[in-house]
C-alpha cells in the first residue's frame, strides 16, 4: 500500500506531453495501452537528440558520428539486457517487433528441425502473431499444430497442457500475458514441464514486459519476444531474447549487410551474434528510444508501476461490475493491466465511438485473437488497458461514459 501511496502519478503524467491533449473537447483518457503506449519526453528527446546531433549509420564508419551512434545503439541493447536480465549482450537481438521475433524463431529455429509427425504446441489464447508463424512453419514441414484449451474463466487448462506435451512436441510457444483477456499465464510451470521433456519454449512477452518484471534466466525460457511500442518506446523496434546455445546454431533469417563477416560468390561467412540476425541498417533511433524508455521505466520502478496498475485493475473491475448488463470477459485469478468486456445492449463498436466522443480511447474488436472471441462466443469485445500514467479518476470517467452509452441505447 505504501508503494501505491508514494506513487506520484501526476508527475509521471507531466512527462507525457500527449496526455494534455483534448479529444472532441474533452481531456484525453488514454486506455488503449495494450495496443500501443504513449511516450515520455525522455524517449522523445533521446530520438530528437540523435537526429539533431548524433546521427549516422552504425557499425560502418570510422568517423566520430558513426562511432557515437554505434555506441548509443549498443547502449540500447545494454538497457534491454539489464531489463530482462539476459546473461549476455549478444543474446539480445533487435527486430522490428514481437511479430518479427516470433517469425524469426519459427523460420530459423523450428523450420530446419521440424518434420512430419512432430508437433508445435501453442494455446487457445494466443495473439495471431503467435499462431500464424507456427501455422506457416507447420505447413512448410508437415508438422502439426496442437492447441492447449482455455477455461470459461480464461485460464489455461494446465492438465491439458501436460497431456498434450509429448515426445512429439518440438516447440512450445505461449503468451506470458493475454492481450485479449489479461490472463497472466503460469509460464514458469510451463517452461519447467516442457524442459522435463527437452522441449524449448518461446514466450510472447508483448503484453507482459510493461507490467511484470521479467528475468529470462530465472524463468529459464529459451526465447522471449516483445515490442518497444507497448513499452513506452517507439514503433518498429522489438526484441528477441534467445539462449546463446540456440541462437549460435540457427541459420540467419535475412541476408544482407551487417550480418556477414566476408562475402565472396563462393562462400559467405556469417557475422557473430547478435549481428547474424540483424541484416541491413537497423532501426537505430528505435533502439535508442527503446533504451530511453527502459531507463525511464527503471527510474520509476516496474514494481511500483505494477502495483499502481493492479490497483487500477481492481478498481476498474469493481466499478465495471456494478454496471448492469456489463459482462467481463476473462476472469482469471492472475490478471495484468487490462479488462475486456461486453454490454448486453450495445455492440463494442458503438461503445468505442460513444467513448471516443467523451475523450476516452479504448480498443474494440477481436484484438487479433479471434480464437478467444470464438471461445467466449462474442464477435468482439471492448477493452480498457492501463499504463503507468492512468488514474483512478480516469476509471470514473470510463464508467460514467459507459453509463451514458447504455442510456442512449436502452
Partner 1 sequence: MDNLRELYQEVILDHNKNKRNYRKIENPDSFAHGVNPLCGDQIDVYLNLRDGVVEDVSFDGQGCAICTSSASMMTVALKGKTEADAHALFESFHHALTDDEVHPEDVPLGKLKVLTGVKEFPVRVKCATLAWHTFDAALKKVQDDISTE
Ligand X SMILES: Cc1ncc(COP(=O)(O)O)c(C=O)c1O
Which residues are part of the catalytic machinery?
A: 368
Q: Which residues contact 168 (CB under 8 A, 6 or more apart)?
A: 117, 118, 119
Q: Which residues contact 74 (CB under 8 A, 6 or more apart)?
A: 89
Cβ at position 403, least distance to partner 1 in Å: 15
Complex with partner 1: residue 267 or 377, whichever CB lies closer: 377
Which of the ranges 46-54, 176-184, 230-238, 363-371 carries the binding residues for partner 1, by CB under 8 A?
363-371
Restricting to residues 216-235, which ones interact with ligand X according to CB under 6 A?
227
Of these partners, ligand X, partner 1, none, which one is at the site of residue 168 (CB under 5 to 8 Å by kind)?
none
| Total residues binding ligand X (CB under 6 A) | 13
Tell which one of 255, 325, 379, 393 touches partner 1 (CB under 8 A): 379
Q: Does 204 bind ligand X (CB under 6 A)?
A: yes
Complex with ligand X: residue 3 or 96, whichever CB lies closer: 96
Complex with ligand X: residue 142 or 149, whichever CB lies closer: 149
Of these partners, partner 1, ligand X, none, which one is at the site of residue 227 (CB under 5 to 8 Å by kind)?
ligand X
Tell which one of 246, 270, 376, 409 touches partner 1 (CB under 8 A): 409
Restricting to residues 364-393, which ones interact with ligand X according to CB under 6 A?
368
Of these partners, ligand X, partner 1, none, which one is at the site of residue 36 (CB under 5 to 8 Å by kind)?
none
Query: Per-residue x/- mask for partner 1, residues 151 to 190, rule CB under 8 A?
Result: ----------------------------------------
Q: Does 132 bind partner 1 (CB under 8 A)?
A: no
Complex with ligand X: residue 40 or 133, whichever CB lies closer: 133
Tell which one of 58, 259, 320, 346 touches partner 1 (CB under 8 A): 346
Cβ at position 365, least distance to partner 1 in Å: 5
For the CA atoms of 8, 214, 317, 344, the dihedral, rounded to the nearest 10 degrees, stands at: 130
Restricting to residues 83-142, which ones interact with ligand X according to CB under 6 A?
97-99, 127, 129-130
Of these partners, ligand X, partner 1, none, which one is at the site of residue 380 (CB under 5 to 8 Å by kind)?
partner 1
Other beta carbons within 10 angstroms of residue 334's beta carbon come to 12
Complex with ligand X: residue 178 or 405, whichever CB lies closer: 178
What is the contact surface with ligand X in residues (CB under 6 A)? Answer: 97-99, 127, 129-130, 175, 179, 204, 206-207, 227, 368
What is the contact surface with partner 1 in residues (CB under 8 A)? Answer: 346-350, 353-354, 357, 364-366, 370, 373, 379-380, 408-409
Amino acid at each position: 500500500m505504501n508503494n501505491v501511496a508514494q506513487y506520484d502519478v501526476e508527475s509521471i503524467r507531466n512527462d507525457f506531453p500527449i496526455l494534455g491533449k483534448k479529444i472532441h473537447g474533452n481531456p484525453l483518457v488514454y486506455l488503449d495501452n495494450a495496443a500501443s503506449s504513449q511516450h515520455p519526453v525522455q524517449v522523445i528527446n533521446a530520438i530528437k537528440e540523435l537526429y539533431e546531433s548524433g546521427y549516422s549509420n552504425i557499425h560502418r564508419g570510422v568517423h566520430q558520428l558513426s562511432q557515437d551512434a554505434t555506441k548509443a545503439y549498443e547502449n540500447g541493447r545494454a538497457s534491454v539486457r539489464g531489463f530482462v536480465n539476459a546473461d549476455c549482450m549478444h543474446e539480445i537481438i533487435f527486430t522490428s517487433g514481437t511479430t518479427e521475433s516470433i517469425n524469426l524463431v519459427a523460420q530459423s529455429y523450428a523450420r530446419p528441425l521440424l518434420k512430419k509427425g512432430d508437433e508445435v504446441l501453442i494455446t487457445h489464447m494466443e495473439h495471431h502473431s503467435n499462431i500464424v508463424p507456427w501455422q506457416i512453419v507447420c505447413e512448410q514441414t508437415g508438422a502439426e499444430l496442437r492447441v492447449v484449451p482455455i477455461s470459461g474463466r480464461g485460464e489455461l487448462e494446465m492438465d491439458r497442457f501436460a497431456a498434450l506435451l509429448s515426445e512429439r512436441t518440438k516447440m512450445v510457444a505461449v503468451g506470458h500475458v493475454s492481450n485479449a483477456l489479461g490472463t497472466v499465464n503460469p509460464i514458469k510451470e510451463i517452461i519447467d514441464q516442457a524442459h522435463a521433456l527437452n522441449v524449448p519454449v518461446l514466450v510472447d512477452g508483448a503484453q507482459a514486459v510493461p507490467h511484470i518484471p521479467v528475468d529470462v534466466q530465472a524463468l529459464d525460457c529459451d526465447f522471449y519476444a516483445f515490442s518497444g511500442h507497448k513499452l513506452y518506446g517507439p514503433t518498429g523496434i522489438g526484441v528477441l531474447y534467445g539462449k546463446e546455445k540456440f541462437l549460435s546454431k540457427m541459420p540467419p533469417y535475412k541476408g544482407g549487410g551487417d550480418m556477414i563477416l566476408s562475402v565472396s560468390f563462393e562462400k559467405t561467412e556469417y557475422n557473430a551474434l547478435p549481428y547474424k540476425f540483424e541484416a541491413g541498417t537497423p532501426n537505430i533511433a528505435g533502439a535508442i528510444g527503446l533504451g530511453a524508455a527502459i531507463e525511464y521505466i527503471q527510474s520509476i520502478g516496474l514494481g511500483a508501476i505494477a502495483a499502481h496498475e493492479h490497483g487500477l485493475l481492481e478498481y476498474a473491475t469493481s466499478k465495471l461490475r456494478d454496471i448492469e448488463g456489463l459482462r467481463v470477459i476473462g476472469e482469471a485469478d492472475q490478471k495484468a493491466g487490462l479488462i475486456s468486456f461486453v454490454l448486453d445492449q450495445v455492440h463494442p463498436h458503438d461503445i468505442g465511438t460513444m467513448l471516443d466522443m467523451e475523450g476516452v480511447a479504448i480498443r474494440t474488436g477481436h484484438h487479433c485473437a479471434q480464437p478467444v472471441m470464438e471461445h467466449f462466443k462474442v464477435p468482439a469485445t471492448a477493452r480498457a488497458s492501463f499504463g503507468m500514467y492512468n488514474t483512478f479518476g480516469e476509471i470514473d470517467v470510463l464508467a460514467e461514459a459507459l453509463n451514458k452509452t447504455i442510456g442512449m441505447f436502452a
